[in-house]
Amino acid sequence: MSLFDDIHTITNEHVKDRQSAHRYLETVCAEMDALGRDIQAVRHIEEDFAHQQIDQLFDTDPGQRGPLHAVPLAHKELYGRKPETGAGWLYEGGSASCQGERAIETAHVIKKLDAAGAVDCARTVSVEYALGVTGHNNYAGTPLNPWNHDYICGGSSSGSGAVVAAGIVPVSLGSDTGGSIRLPAAACGLIGIKPTHGLVSRSGVFPLSVSLDTVGPLSRTVRDSAMLLTQIAGYDSEDPLSIKVPKIDYLSYLDRPVDGIRLGLETKYFLSGTDSDIADLISAAFEETEAFGARLSEAQIADIDTTNPLNVLMISSEACHVHIDRLVERHNEMNPQTVMRVLTGLSSTQEIEDRLAATRAGLAARIIEDIFADIDVFVTPVWPFALPTIADSDIGAKPEAAALMQHIGHNTRPVNFLGLPAIVVPIGFDKNGLPVSMQLVGKPYSEGVLIALARQCEKHFSFWDNRPPAG
Amino acid sequence: MKKDADTIAQYYEKLATAGVHNALLEQTKQTNLELTEALLRTPEPDRIMSMNSVYQHYASNVQADTGSGEGSDR
């Protein structure tokens, strides 16, 4: 039995019967407790609950078993779980200011994974309130990148990135408001999907920005992310922004050809805002996609630069609604960076917030029509510079790093603001041996196309022929 | 919270009383001002829309696709 197996291998080889499923869970929880805690990625392990889930799963009719039958998974600590009996799981949002708080409901997507047979065994570290992109967290711990422990995992789904890259679980749910799935996925060499606006319910997930929050998977393989997305997508009346979209089996896109797909490399905003060593790697990878039939062109997106600061304004304004009362009471228990980011939204009046929402919708409608008139997918870097070390990106210790760290979301925030789907795919390594990834951004609800394209990239770049030395 | 001017002012008072440094309050007000200016420089849309109305339009064009359920290529 080895770590680093994908869902298909786990279901077919490791959890074939009740006894082997319990044994495999014990192995995963032991790794979570040892390696997962060594890399500071784990918040809490719920092994007893998970064993109960396995017993319930094997009590059901074999014909009723789901595609994730008895597969142990662990998710970002923002995902609530309230078991039928007993207390809810810890639900602290990565913050000392929420110490001891417990979930009062189970997140909608966690219920969907339960229904698919997944076993829920742990929660992983989040940046405080999911409001930060480096992964630093003085309270819950700063996860160490499995590729090199001196480096950050990115955030805010930092713990999820770390446990998947370390091979402990095949996939983990994160959340993404300005890049918080894609940045850790890219930093850890993973596939990460930020779904289209309204496709996946956020109910029961610790909120940051009601308009911008999205939830999705981080995994080592495209197939595993496609599997998770297929399970969690769907309308939920409890999420005010949920949208009814016909059911899609994203796994069926894995084999679909992408010949003739029109890819655009956006040069004016994304590439020019990225350090040349990373930009050169992305440009070279873009050229290589011609090998599997993509038609390439340069692309420019009018007004895309306006979306970045507006995303920052929307996050801070809406985070203020969620957290201002707690901040008044317990700001001394919060990271000073979190306090600053929340307070930035306080002076936005309702009039400004209404204008911001209307401007967002107007920009989205116009820019989407403009971009996708001539291309199907646009390609960008994810990180705008080589991944920094934990020490160099610690704004608390190095205030002069703040401006540079603010730039981390340059390539990811516009995608949230426009509501578009994106997938990140690792394509190689930087000068320090850390993963480099490109971001594929598609039309609304084109996750299937992005998965087909990402699968071709996965085969072409063969990134996971390597393993993290520290994993 | 209500985001009218009076309520916002009350929150600033509460924060000052709770010991949040004035310099931080002023710094974050300034950052908000700069971000708001970026918003006000962006032309208002011709017609009022919501993100959900924009995306419902695209969702209405999506075809159900339940595929094979597995995908063969591993």
Q: Tens digit of pLDDT for each residue in A222-254?
A: 999 999 999 999 999 999 999 999 999 999 999
Domain containing residue A141: 127-471
Contacts of residue A201, defined as CB under 8 A and 6 or more positions apart, other chains included, come to: A108, A109, A215, A232, A234, A235, A236, A238, A239, A242
Digit-coded pLDDT (tens) for A15-65: 999 999 999 999 999 999 999 999 999 999 999 999 999 999 999 988 888
Whether residue B73 is contained in a domain is answered as: no
Mean pLDDT of A7-20: 96
Nearest to B62 among A246, A352, A353 (CB): A246
Mean pLDDT throughout A61-79?
94
For A438, the 3-state DSSP assignment is strand
Q: Is A388 left (phi over 0), alpha (psi -120 to 50) or beta?
A: beta
In a domain, A106, yes or no: no
pLDDT at A346: 98
Q: How many domains does chain A have?
A: 1
The domain spanning residue A166 has which CATH number?
A: 3.90.1300.10
Domain that holds residue B8: 1-43
B4 vs chain A: nearest CA distance in angstroms?
6
Name the average pLDDT for chain A: 96
Contact A247 B49 (CB under 8 A): no
Q: Report if residue A303 sits inside a domain.
A: yes
Residues of A within 8 A of B44 (CB-CB) are: 355, 358-359, 362
Is A386 inside any structural domain? yes
A346: nearest CB among B19, B28, B51 = B28
- Residue of B27, B45, B62 with shortest CB distance to A359: B45
Residues of A in contact with B49 (CB under 8 A): 358, 361-362, 365
Is the CB of residue A114 less than 8 Å from the CB of residue A146?
no
| Order of strands across the sheet that contains A435-442 | A171-176, A214-219, A191-194, A422-429, A435-442, A377-381, A262-266, A295-299
Q: B12-31 pLDDT, tens per residue? A: 999 999 999 999 999 999 99
Q: Is the pLDDT of residue A458 over 80?
A: yes
What is the interface pTM, i.e. ipTM, of the complex?
Answer: 0.93
What does the pLDDT read at residue A470? Answer: 53
For chain B, the domain total comes to: 1
Residue in chain B closest to A320 (alpha carbons) equals B1
Cα(B1)–Cα(A349) distance, integer angstroms: 11
Q: From CA B5, how far away is CA B7, in angstroms rounded? A: 6
Residue B3 lies in a domain: yes
Identify the band that residue B68 occupies on the pLDDT scale cut at 50, 70 and 90: low
Euclidean distance between CA atoms A457 and A423, whole angstroms = 11
Residue A196 covered by a domain = yes
Query: So what's the pLDDT on residue B72?
Result: 37
Determine, yes or no, domain membership for A102. no
Task: Say which amino acid occupies A81.
Answer: R
The pLDDT score that the predictor gives to residue A399 is 87
